[in-house]
Amino acid sequence: MKIPRIYNDADGKSHFGEAEIPLKDGGPIGLLSEKIPAGSIIFRETPADYDFKWHPAPARQLLFILKGRAEFTVSNGERHVYGAGDVLLLEDTEGEGHCSRAMYNEVRHSIFVTLPDGFPY
């Protein structure tokens, strides 16, 4: 399974990419990943006028968007919009970081799950 990610390079510039989560046969219930250790879980409501300029992610974390949409911008100006049902791996914990802003005047509900050191993806 591939999920989008934002990461930083050695010069501190952020980029979009993909992380591949390996899956294996789980029998009749489908394909499963290995268990992934998690740190903290943070529930968040972001206002409809949210517009957060350049900032690195506070921790390596998975962002699960439950409601609403947000646009993310990386160092080269590339932009992607993610919405309800999307998962994003945020790894740009150093350097310039990214921008994020609310879209379509929507409140966003999200869950952040911090990842421990050694998360392999």
Mind listing the pLDDT tens digit for each residue in 26-37?
999 999 999 888
Residue 71's pLDDT is: 98
* pTM of full prediction above 0.85: yes
DSSP 46-77: E-TT-EEEEE--SSSEEEEEEESEEEEE-TTS
Mean pLDDT of the chain: 95
Q: At residue 38, does pLDDT exceed 80?
A: yes
Residue 121's pLDDT is: 67
Ordered structural domains, the chain, with CATH: 2-114 (2.60.120.10)
Confidence band of 83 (pLDDT split at 50, 70, 90): very high
Mean pLDDT of 40-51: 97
Element (H, E) at 82: strand 79-83
